[in-house]
Chains A and B, each alone.
Chain A
Amino acid sequence: MQDARDSFFVALRTRLASINPERTIVLRGQVRPGVLVEENELPTAFQPTDAFTLHWTAMTVDASSPLPLVAMECQINYATDGTSGNGGMDRGRLLGAMDGELTAALVTETQSAIKKNFSGVAGTGAPAVTMSTNIFWSTPRFAPVKTSGERLERTAVVEVFAYQEAGEL
């Protein structure tokens, strides 16, 4: 299941970086594409703006398939304050741009990606190991915009599916 989560994150990050290379975030001193997984970062109440934050929430397993089919819900939160140079008056446009980027990344291309095992990558730089199955995902559902002060926030929910392969944790 971790492989599926990692694979979805990397696929989404790669696609978003291709769609808008300028959407970056500075995290622990590093400039990275503007997408991160909340559980992989230091606990914080800080909601990064102009970036996509992935939260893994619900999960179910369908055991009727020859391989257990895991369905995981991924909430993608994003927010913007607009730009200070415009007095925040462009916050609607910036949120709309993020809506479009996420739609393009999740729907316009294929809704699947090869599952990979990234467990040996950290610290070694070894390439991820390609697994035998693909992950795939649903069309995203976008929640209504929330207004928090001058900030606009939205959550999109995607169901990510993966077959649990033999020996995979």
Chain B
Amino acid sequence: MSSQLVPATAPVSNRLRAYFAPVNRTTGTPTLFDPAQQGAFSLDTPPAPWIDLGWTSNFTRKSASKIAPLGTGAPAIVQTQVRSEVEATLSLDFESWGKLQLAVAAGSEQLNLLVTATGTNPNGSGGTAATAVPITLSGSSATALNVGSASSTFNLGDIVAVDLDYTSQTGYVGSGVAAAYVTSSPAVAADINYIRRVTLNVGRVTAIASGVLTLGSPLIAGAPIAGMQISRVTGFCDREGGSFFQEWSALFVFDGQQGDRILYHYPRLQPLQGASEIAAPLIATATGLAAPLERMRLAAAFRALPVTDANDSAQVLCFRSYLPGPMRSL
């Protein structure tokens, strides 16, 4: 490669990748991404604990921060400027549907549709769940669940929710990520399966052998702990309404074709709208055959909340980092 500097060009790419990480709601601690240490990561292998939510489209970020003039004298003359309000929002469409994409776009709690017990009454977010299956911690890990002889009740491809029984806990519940906020036991009908109903600690069974369920991807909370049980899940459900706000740390990567990269890091994002989706026609073909078909993309909008930058104690909403391509003029 030449040692001569090359004029820097505007980054070019055709899509943007999204990564999310948990926020500890109890302590209010977000997951911070350090672009100086981790910025050049491979898009397919993000650093822990960031989770790949795939490609996005229509990424739009808006700054609602206001700068106002400060005048003195008569007549008033602007002497300086002040930042009177700091606010930022962003919106995007997810190109993939999955548990986490649905959850962050849900606007409120997102529930797992637990397989119901026989003969239960119908309910909009799923009826009374079937009895959960206990886990033997020995031989279990974030990708393996030792259930012993109960493995015969599972099938390849099953979705499972893994979490604690509900035993009158209040506050944030859900292992790995706060999935809901419980105000009182009666509010959730003291349902023993309530935490598994809302947890984001889910996986899909890709192998069953010797009493162990192997999952296709690691559980978000890591290896199971004592008291966790398994409920089978048929799908996911979100609702219009509810007072719980999801909160996640987010990272968006725009990978330029010239080796340059833009990173948008929002340490704290909360949903700005209820669950919604965008219907768009599939790619038009020369024959027009695809015209009646539509693709449903998950539409998400978020409001950024502030964190304190340890370097200078500034309250900030978003860090935009630019990693120039090799030997580009600066």
Interface residues of A (CB under 8 A from B): 65-67, 69, 111-112, 130-134, 136, 139, 143-144, 161, 163, 165-166
In the bound complex, what is the Cα–Cα distance between A165 and B5 (angstroms)? 10
The B contact surface, by secondary structure, is: loop
Tell me which residues across on chain B come within 8 A of A165, comparing CB atoms. 6
Q: Would B10 and A133 count as touching, CB distance under 8 A? A: no
From B2, B10, B286, B327, name the one whose CB has the most chain A CB atoms within 10 angstroms: B2
Q: Mark B21-49, 1 if CB is under 8 A from A, else 0.
A: 00000000000000000000000000000
16 A–B pairs (Cβ distance < 8 Å), ordered by A:
A65-B9, A66-B8, A67-B7, A130-B1, A132-B326, A132-B327, A133-B258, A134-B258, A134-B259, A144-B286, A144-B287, A161-B257, A163-B9, A165-B6, A166-B4, A166-B6
In the bound complex, what is the Cα–Cα distance between A134 and B1 (angstroms)? 12
* Chain B residue, CB-CB nearest to A138: B14
Cβ of A133 to closest chain B Cβ, rounded Å = 6
Cβ of B278 to closest chain A Cβ, rounded Å = 21
In the bound complex, what is the Cα–Cα distance between A136 and B327 (angstroms)? 18
* Chain A residue, CB-CB nearest to B10: A65
Contact of B9 among A66, A143, A166 (CB under 8 A): A66
In the bound complex, what is the Cα–Cα distance between A111 and B255 (angstroms)? 11
In the bound complex, what is the Cα–Cα distance between A69 and B287 (angstroms)? 33
Cβ of B140 to closest chain A Cβ, rounded Å = 36
Q: Would B4 and A132 count as touching, CB distance under 8 A? A: yes
Interface residues on B, range: 10 to 19
Q: Would B327 and A111 count as touching, CB distance under 8 A? A: no
Tell me which residues across on chain A come within 8 A of B286, comparing CB atoms. 143-144
Q: Would A136 and B8 count as touching, CB distance under 8 A? A: no
In the bound complex, what is the Cα–Cα distance between A13 and B260 (angstroms)? 26
Q: Would B7 and A66 count as touching, CB distance under 8 A? A: yes
Tell me which residues across on chain B come within 8 A of A131, comparing CB atoms. 1-2
Contact of A132 among B2, B14, B257, B287 (CB under 8 A): B2
In the bound complex, what is the Cα–Cα distance between A112 and B2 (angstroms)? 19
Interface residues of B (CB under 8 A from A): 1-2, 4, 6-10, 12, 14, 257-259, 286-287, 326-327
Tell me which residues across on chain B come within 8 A of A112, comparing CB atoms. 257
From B6, B9, B257, name the one whose CB has the most chain A CB atoms within 10 angstroms: B257
Tell me which residues across on chain B come within 8 A of A166, comparing CB atoms. 4, 6
In the bound complex, what is the Cα–Cα distance between A65 and B12 (angstroms)? 12
Tell me which residues across on chain A come within 8 A of B8, comparing CB atoms. 66
Q: Would A132 and B9 count as touching, CB distance under 8 A? A: no
In the bound complex, what is the Cα–Cα distance between A163 and B9 (angstroms)? 9
Tell me which residues across on chain B come within 8 A of A69, comparing CB atoms. 9
In the bound complex, what is the Cα–Cα distance between A130 and B6 (angstroms)? 14
* Chain A residue, CB-CB nearest to B12: A136
Tell me which residues across on chain B come within 8 A of A65, comparing CB atoms. 9-10
Tell me which residues across on chain B come within 8 A of A66, comparing CB atoms. 7-9
Tell me which residues across on chain B come within 8 A of A130, comparing CB atoms. 1
Tell me which residues across on chain A come within 8 A of B4, comparing CB atoms. 132, 166
Q: Would A67 and B9 count as touching, CB distance under 8 A? A: yes
Q: Would A67 and B259 count as touching, CB distance under 8 A? A: no
Cβ of A111 to closest chain B Cβ, rounded Å = 7
In the bound complex, what is the Cα–Cα distance between A133 and B324 (angstroms)? 12
* Chain A residue, CB-CB nearest to B257: A136
Cβ of B126 to closest chain A Cβ, rounded Å = 38
Pairs of residues from A and B, 8 with the lowest C-beta to C-beta distance, nearest first: A66-B7, A136-B257, A132-B6, A112-B257, A130-B1, A132-B2, A134-B258, A67-B7
